Amino acid sequence: MSDNIVLSAVMPNSPLSDSQYVRDFKSVLDSKVVEPTEVNSKRSHVGPHLGSRMHIYEYSVAQNDAFWAKLRGATSIGSRPGRMTTTSSRTTSTNPRDPSL
């Protein structure tokens, strides 16, 4: 059984439409090895630079070995700017100060 995670795509404002970014982002995920994705929410905020608007798309996907293998190979979305981050619904804590780790 796989854990659910939220996968976010942070996209800078550009001449490309939001729908183009969503299609590009989903093309990384939509395959036989990745569970179907769905947009849960879209948030926009103005970035640190004037006029730098970022769009954050969040997807719920199933976390499994095939998913992570595919995601590791997707460090960029084509040649377009953007980055992907993941937030797991289940976390493990480790002590970073523990020298035995």
Task: Enumerate domains of the chain plus CATH numbers.
Answer: 3-88 (3.30.70.120)
Confidence of residue 64 (pLDDT cuts 50, 70, 90): low
End-to-end CA distance of the chain: give it in Å, rounded.
Answer: 28
Rounded-to-integer distance, Cα 3 and Cα 64, Å:
8
Residue type, position 1, single letter: M
pTM score: 0.20
Residue 46 has pLDDT above 50, yes or no: no
Q: What does the pLDDT read at residue 67? A: 55
Q: Strand, coil or helix: what is 21? A: helix
Smallest CA-to-CA distance from 21 within 59, 70, 73 is with 59
Helix (H) or strand (E) run with residue 79 in it? none
| Average pLDDT, integer, range 15-26 | 54
Rounded-to-integer distance, Cα 9 and Cα 32, Å:
21
**What percent of the chain clears pLDDT 70, i.e. is strictly above it?**
0
